[in-house]
Every structure is written in C-alpha cells, then in structure tokens.
Structure 1
Amino acid sequence: MPEPAPDPQVATDLGVLTGLRTGKRSFYPEYVRSTERLARAVQALDGISRALVRTAEGPRTLVETVARTAADHLQARWLLLAIADGALRAARPRFLLLTAGDLVEDERLLPDEVRDHLEVLRSRPWEAESSASGPRWVRAPMTLDDEPVGGIVASPGAGIEVAATDLAILRVLANQAAVALHNSYLFHAAARLRGRTEQLSQAAERQARDLAERSAELAETQQRLVGAMQRQALDDERHRIARELHDSVTQYVLSAGMTIEVCRAELDGLGGAAADIAGRLAGAKDLTRQAVERLRAAIYALHHTSEEQPGPLPAMLERLSVVHLPTDLEVNVRVEGNPVPLPPAAEQSILRLTGEALFNSAAHGKASRALVRLRYRPDVVVLTVSDDGTGEPAQLRRALRLSRAGDLSGRHRGLANMLARAEELGGALSIRRSRMGGIRLRVDVPLPVPTEEVP
C-alpha cells in the first residue's frame, strides 16, 4: 500500500515547535535522540567548566574530576585515564581507573581488559576509535601542542550510542586534562620555587645580619687592638721616662742635696757669717728632699699607671695617701655616703687633683697633717682637702686669679690646673680656711658626670 500523505497541519505544528521543516515520518524519533545527545553534551560541557576552575587544587583533584565527568557523560561501566610514557614526566597520577564509583591507581588491581587498554594509552601515537565487535569501548586521545600525551578509554553503559559528538567531548575532556595537568605542574613548581626563593631570601638576610654582626665585632676588635697598641706604646714611653727620672734626674737631685748638706756642715763649723749662710742652705736641703719625694711619686705613677688595677675612687685615694706623697705628711681619708661609680677619666682627674692639693700642702704649706674627705650625695660628689699648714686662703685665691690671667713664672700652675680639672668635670673649686688651721680646698662635681674624656 502506498504511504498516506503527511498531514500538513501536523507538519506545520512540528515546524512551529522545533523550528525545523521536514516531511519524513522518522523526524520525531531522530529529534528526540538528537535532543538527548545535546542534553548530554551540555551536561558534559558543564562538567568541563567545573573541571577548569579546579586546576589550582592539584593534579589529583583535576584528574578525578575529568574522569568522573567523562564517565557520567557515557554512563560508563569503567573509565581509564592514562598518560603516555615519556610525556608530562612530572604529572601524577600516571593513570586512574574509575569503576563502580571507586578509583583505582594500583596496576596490580586492574582487570585484564583494562590493562590491555592501559598499554595502548601508554604507547603513542594512536587515533580515536571504538570497538567493532566484542565488549563495547570507546577511546579518545589526549594531546598537548599537537603531540599525543595519553588518552581516555571507557566502556559506555547499556543503551548509550556513541556518536561523533561524544568522541569530540571525550577529546575535549582529555585535552583539558593534559593542559590542566601541565598548568598544575607549573603552578606547583612555581609555588615550590617561590618557597625556595623565600627560604633563600631569609637565609641571605640571616647571612647579611651575621655578616653585619661579625663586621661590627671585627671593627670593635680592631678598635680594641689599636687601643691596646696605643696603651702599650704609652706604657713603654712611661717606663722609659720613669727609668730616666730614676737613673739620672733623681740621682742628680740626691747628689745636689748631699753637696748642699756637706757645704752647710762646713760653713756651720766656720761660725760667724758662714753660719748664717749655712742656715739659709738648710732651706735648699729641704727643697731637694721634697724634689726627690716628688720625683719618686712621679716615677711610681709612671710605672704603675696601666699595670695597677684602678679600683674604686676611695681605694685609689687611700693608695695615694700612703704612696705618692712625702713621708712626713700624715693623710687621713674619709668617705661618706654610698659610693657610685664615675667615668674612669673623671676618677683619674679627681685623683690627680687630690694629689696636687696634698703636695701643695706638704711642699708650700709646711703641713704635717691633712684630711681628704669624699662625700657622695644624690646629685653631687664633694671632695675636700684640709691641712694644718701655714697657707693663707686669701693669698692663694689672689694667686689663682693671677695665674688664670697669665702666670709667666709658673709658680702657681698647680692651682690653675686644679681649677681647670674641676671645670672640665662641670664643677667648681673654692679655697677657705680649714678647721685644722691651714687651707681647705673644696671641689663640687655635679652628678651625673659627663662621659667625655677628661685629660
């Protein structure tokens, strides 16, 4: 029988609904199959888009996402994704089998049919194809820069007809896996390099700090070495001067004193005017004796300046009172308050000032007793040197003013030096009558004492 003519109205309705024009009766079943394939293709594309945004999570997550997307698209019983031997050497895993929702990456657990496909995927090149007979399977290559680097092979589910669009989707998924694996490798390699760079940068910073510290230590050591060499040179020069004073000047002064004593004795024996001259020579003898004592004190100071332990200021004053002064001057030292350490240069300056005052008491004031008092107060250190000599405070103050104006004779340079040292310490010097009957010299040094070097 001839086929009945198609109803024009039905064809018109189908055209309105589908946007297509056909007169074949097989149009609708084909349309349904095409729509199903289109829906599966859209679903696969959606899976591809989800896989694209998971690249940074690492190659493992990406490979799993691609495998599950391809398996869902084909409703596959199993699906194998593998990388060819020698390709993407750093990519891991090298293969992955998805079967019954489980992931397998142990080659010993692969079924025989899957192991055969793995060998094919590992060898290259090969083309996309499907099984012609036997168990159904479909295979799509994985390429990168037009080079085969692996592929996907799957066993489609029952009722799934594999069309050219399905192979195209598998190729897209496989290629995306290749690109993403490569990008993921680069991403993690860059992360490792960045971490290594940060470690190297931190190590370089530590080395730079260590080098700066070592350089500072070296500079400090060099400075100490230079200082030690300078002190050694000064010590050697002091010792040389001390030897010269002891071996020559002191001997000359002693000889002069002995000569004066011999002459005085002979003149005293002649009587008359000679006896008067002998009496005047007695003063010269005393001056030579004082000169010898002063030379001995200078020799001691020159010889022991750097070898003796400085110690606190009160201890140095005690040492000064028994070593550096004429033997016929009795000196007592009193310390009041809680001693506080002063800069070494300041203590040396106070010590020299005290020695000068005591020598003046013995040599010029004819004192037999002296009292050195050192008082520590919260804001000031007060040093007083009192004696029972014959000195006049007003005369000394006038001499001090004259010496500051210009003492050409040098007779009162000791007073001027003491005043200069007091002012360098930021303090003041005053001269008054002492309760012992002689001179009372007072120096007030405010605290804290400046740390600049005091000569």
Structure 2
Amino acid sequence: MSKEFVEKVRINLGEGIAGSVAESGKAILLEDISSDPRVAHREMVAAEGLKAYICVPLRAKDKVLGVLNVASRMPRKFTTNDMHLLYAIGDQLGIAIEHARLYERLRKARERLRRLARQNLVAEEEERRRIARELHDETSQSLSGIALQLQALIEMSTISGKKDDEYVSGLKKVQSLTVQVHKEVSRLISNLHPALLDTLGLVPAVRQHAETRLQPLGIKISVETKGNDRRFSPEVEAALFRFIQGATGNIAQHSKAKTAAIVLEFKPNTFILTISDNGQGFNVSEITDVEESGRGRGLFSMRERIGFLGGISGIESEIGKGTTVWARIPIGQEVEYAENKSPGS
C-alpha cells in the first residue's frame, strides 16, 4: 500500500473489513477485496489496484489493539498457513504495542512525578529564601540592635562612675549571649539560603560555606574551579549548592577527615562537581536505600536533586581510603538562560 493510502484512510470500529476484524477479533481472508461489498473507501482500493487481502487482529491479553492488513495487487489465494503465520505475527506485534504503551504510560507517570518533585523543591527553595530574608530583616537586625543597646548601657555605666560590678557583669553576659544568638541566627540564614548564591553565584557561595562549615572542625578545605566560571539559573545553582551542602555535612559528621577538596569543572555542555575527603570511608554497598533509621536519606536526596536536573551522580568510598562524591549535569540551556540575565536580576 502506498504511504498516501495509509495516511488518508481512517476506519472506525465496525466499519469496513478492518473495522469488523478489530471489533470481532477474527481474521478475514479475501481473494479479491475490490469486489467485496464490505469494503470501505472503495475508490481508494480501486486506485491502489488491490486484489488478494488478509486482515488479522493485533492482540494482547485477549484485547484487540489494532489490525494488520496484508494486500497484493496480484490475484492470489491466501492459505490457512498464511493466516496462522499472520496471526502469530499479529500477536507478537500486539504484545509489542502493549509493552510500548505501558512503557509510555510509565514514562509519563515518572515525568509527572519528576515535575511535581521538582516543583516541590523549587517551592522549598523559595520558602527557604523567604524565611532567610525575614530572619535577616527582622530577627537578625533586632539582635544587632539589642547588642548595641547593651554595649551603650555598659559604656554609660563606666562613664557615670558607678561601681556596681554585678550590674555591669550582668550586662556583659547578656550582651555576650545576644552576640552568640546573633551568630547562630546568621548561620541559620546562611544554611537556609546564602545571600552570596543570589548575588555572586555558585562558586563564592560554595567557598564561603565550605570554609565556615569545615575549617572550625580542623578540616583543611580547598575549592578549585576548572574552565570558565559562569552563572546558572537560580534553580540549578540552588540544587548544586544543596548537593554540596549535603556532602560537606557528611564530611563534618562522619568522615573524621583532615583534608577535603571541592572541584567545580565547567565544560562547554557539561558541569562536573567532585567533593572528596581523606577520611575513614565506608562500605558503599551497605547503603542501597533509605533505612527506617534515616540512614541514607541525605545521599538519596542529593542524588534526587541532581536527577531533576537531568544529571547523574555517584559515590565512591573504601574503608580507610576516604570518600568521593560526584555529580554531572548538562548545562547548555541553563548557561544561556543565566548569561542573558544580570547577576542581581
């Protein structure tokens, strides 16, 4: 049959020979289709010069999914063996079609879940940004004001010549506590959403986070870039930062490392991120899923974030030989998006 014939002909269930086969699930053999009264689109059959014809159902799980049409422009008689062969082919095609449909439904379901999860992560990041902004604008500013007021009271007490050491000592303790709380709030703000991520981008934010997270623990940290540093979209930068945040958190809590290194490699169409340490390492095969205790949740979340960006990630470790965590994502479209925006937009 010509391509034009196949593209133009549309037959409803029960209409014509093919429609009857689709409805009944039983094959039809004809020596000359052009003379059969059941033919739909007779003029096109005549134009194609079709004669011998057989139509068999495409079945899967006792359900007809379509039909297979075989026609010849030469008069001939299809045999029972021909029909059985086409039945077998039809059943195989039916199963293949059913599998393809199931795969497509599964793909669409996974894509929907991926979109929903990605939307949740975007919403989570927006909420983190909002809370960080409110903490900075309200709580942090208020604590700074309290600390300044306390300092003023201490200085006034000294200038006035009052010798109430207990009073001054109490003020200093309150001031010290206020400063400590202010530092803790600042740390929370940075963990929620570092301001540098919005203003200067991923590399400065990563460097600041790694140094403040690991250096106080005595872990020497280096942050290295390869290739041309560039800005990504806020969504991508946030996901990469959370990945690094998770990795440095694991180094701080579990590695017992002395040194760690973060390498950010910018290639034309790919971004590669590597975080390694010289700590005690662990058996990767022991963590295959999230356990009830919560073990493995952080690694799963890190892998999930990279997956939403269309990338892949992995972890390599041996007991006594440290750990390396890596991620690789495609960045072509994201680079174009980010480079067309000003850093503050």
TM-score range, shorter chain: 0.3 to 0.5
Structure-1-length-normalised TM-score: 0.32
Q: Which has the larger radius of gyration?
A: 1
Q: What TM-score do the two structures reach when normalised by structure 2?
A: 0.42
Higher normalized contact order (CA 8 Å, seq sep 6+, divided by chain length): 2
